[in-house]
Structure 1
């Protein structure tokens, strides 16, 4: 059975290196054929909105918008329900392909057979 990866990113523009690392690992795993589910929580919740990832910049790092596009094309991207609510983000606001789900869904994903979970 192939392993899969669930990545929860809590950092956003407030901690750019940690944030970019999570997106980079997600895209690299997908390029290697590993199924990936990327969870946007905390300050990374803002990247579920159109244009926000494209506006993010970190010297000597892959462009966050491109990394997000990769994950959206091949993997899954989920915005935390509570994180979205705290920021007044609704399903009508998010990029196409981003779902909003909560802790029960996250727990179900990370407890799946062959799953490796990482938190950034």
Structure 2
């Protein structure tokens, strides 16, 4: 059975190191062949909007836009339903391929056999 990694990023520009850690781990896992689902919640939700990741900068860190692209190319990216609603975001506002889903979907992903969840 192929292991699955579900990562929830809860921080954005408000906590850049924690935010970058979530994206870095997600991209490293994808590069290692792990099935990755990256959930963007809270302020991290903004990085699903085109151009937002390009404005993020953290010294000595890979560009967030590159990490996001790597995860999107080989994994899944989801924005929390409530987080999207609070920011008035719809799927039409998001990068192609990013979905909006809620807690039932998150719970389904983290309780699958072989799944590991990490929250940053």
Give the TM interval when normalised to the shorter protein.
over 0.9
Q: Normalising by the residue count of structure 1, what TM-score does the alignment of the two structures yield?
A: 0.99
Match of 2:5?
A: 5
Q: How many angstroms apart in 2 are the aligned matches of 1:61 and 1:24?
A: 9
1:86-105 matches, within 5 Å, as: 86-105=86-105
SS, match of residue 12 in structure 2? coil
Say whether 1:20 aligns with 2:20: yes
**1:29-67 deviation per Cα after TM superposition (whole angstroms, max 9, x unaligned):** 011111100000000000010000011000000000000
Match of 2:118?
A: 118
Match of 1:34?
A: 34
Unaligned stretches of 5+ residues in structure 1 = none
Q: How many angstroms apart in 2 are the aligned matches of 1:91 and 1:32?
A: 29
How many aligned positions are there?
120
What is the CA distance between 1:91 and its match in structure 2? 1.2
SS, match of residue 92 in structure 1? helix
1:11-90 matches, within 5 Å, as: 11-90=11-90
What is the CA distance between 1:2 and its match in structure 2? 1.7
**1:5-46 deviation per Cα after TM superposition (whole angstroms, max 9, x unaligned):** 000000000000000000000000011111100000000000
Q: Normalising by the residue count of structure 2, what TM-score does the alignment of the two structures yield?
A: 0.99
